[in-house]
Structure 1
Amino acid sequence: MSEVKLVAQTRTEFGKGAARRIRRESKVPGVLYGHGTQPLHLTLPGHDLLLALRTPNVLISLDIDGKTELAIPKAVQRDPLKGFLEHVDLLLVKRGEKVTVEIPVHTEGELAAGGNLLEHVLNALPVEAEATHIPEALTVSVEGLAAGASVHAKDIALPSGVTLAVDEDAVVLQVLAAQAEEAPAGEEAEGEEAAEA
């Protein structure tokens, strides 16, 4: 798992006006909390944070006024139209500490022939892992699965030191049978009329 270093400054101004000023400077307001400590309000570099957040559950090494803290993103607010970062909540973690996170589930392989559909019941799998060893993604083979088949949480191979944080019988993926295409309504009516004649 990658560790990203960011330099953050503590901030004392709050409210919408202060947040807008921070964003105009291409920075992002954020808050760091956890381990029973007082929440620490921060200003983070916008572009570097955006790049870091492309990795799910990224471990961020924060340099705050000469002190280094480790954190993982807990909540990220984005502008709904433009997509830029508006605010980020970071959870303070320590090396060796276990955290509960959701790991994206990726699939590989081809389903059995027949035009069946693969449904992702869970796009991400809740797991417990050491904060410094969180896997970026879990890959599941769906090679040859037929309609009606499903993959449960317990069927997914987890890296060493990672445990499930969800019921092991939870369905993660399932294969749905292909639906026969319905004839347009007009054609059905014509067929009925022909049968009556």
Structure 2
Amino acid sequence: MSEVKIAAELRSEFGKGAARRVRRDNKVPGVLYGHGTDPVHITLPGHELLLALRTPNVLLALDIDGKNELAIPKAVQRDPLKGFLEHVDLLLVKRGEKVNVEIPVHTEGELAPGGYLLEHVLNALPVEAEATHIPESVSVSVEGLEAGASVLAKDITLPNGVKLAVEEDAVVLQVLAAQAEEPTGEVAEGEGEEAAEA
């Protein structure tokens, strides 16, 4: 995976007012932590960070006052209405270090005819991978699957050097039969009472 270079600045002001001032300057407040070090409070350029975060588990090459650090995003807070970045938590990583992340699961192919529904039990697959070689996603074929079929974590082909960080038998996808319209609640309750009396 490619590294995205971003220049960051150390931040000395804290609190809601300071964070609002940072965001007014089109920057995003963040915290960099990991490897047993004290958290480092930084600000990052908003637009560059937004573009970088379009890639899941992006590897950020941070330049902080002339010091270079590698980090991956661990928590991203967005404004619930407008969607802009409010805060980001970054985890320090080193080349060769293994990290636990979740990678998106993409499906390929068509289910068998019959109006079946595909349920994503896990939207993202927990894996362990080298920090500088985290796959952007994994693909799974659902071609011809029918109701009752499921795809387990162990059925997914992972790139070299990537291991599952979840039980092998964990269900990732399952195919459901399309349900007919259910009766209204009143009818269903009435049927239940009749059955109880019988």
Give the TM-score normalised by the residue count of structure 1. 0.91
1:173 partnered with 2:177 = no
Distance 1:51 1:178 in 2: 38
Distance 1:36 1:65 in 2: 21
Alpha-carbon deviation of 1:180?
2.8
Which residue of 1 is the match for residue 145 of structure 2? Answer: 145
1:1-197 equivalences under 5 Å are 1-181=1-181
Letter in 2 for 1:148: G
Distance 2:15 2:174 in 1: 46
Q: Secondary structure at the match of 2:128?
A: strand
Alpha-carbon deviation of 1:133?
0.2
Alpha-carbon deviation of 1:178?
1.8
Distance 2:12 2:160 in 1: 42
Alpha-carbon deviation of 1:89?
0.3
Q: Which runs of 4+ in 1 moved over 6 A?
A: none
Alpha-carbon deviation of 1:184?
8.8
Letter in 1 for 2:116: N
Q: Secondary structure at the match of 1:122?
A: coil
How many residues align? The count is: 185
Distance 2:74 2:13 in 1: 22
Unaligned 5+ segments in structure 2 are: 186-198
Q: Secondary structure at the match of 1:19?
A: helix
Distance 1:63 1:33 in 2: 15
Distance 1:182 1:30 in 2: 48
Cα shift readout 1:93-116 (whole Å, capped 9, x = no counterpart)? 000000000000000100011010
Distance 1:20 1:178 in 2: 48
How has the CA–CA distance of structure 1 residues 18 and 182 changed in structure 2, closer, same or farther, with 3 Å as cutoff? closer
Give the TM-score normalised by the residue count of structure 2. 0.91
Q: Give the alignment's Cα RMSD to 1 decimal.
A: 1.3
Unaligned 5+ segments in structure 1 are: 186-197
Cα shift readout 1:34-68 (whole Å, capped 9, x = no counterpart)? 00011000010000000000100000000001111
Distance 1:163 1:184 in 2: 47
How has the CA–CA distance of structure 1 residues 20 and 182 changed in structure 2, closer, same or farther, with 3 Å as cutoff? closer
Alpha-carbon deviation of 1:181?
4.1
User: Percent identity over the alignment?
Assistant: 84
Alpha-carbon deviation of 1:179?
1.9
Alpha-carbon deviation of 1:78?
0.6
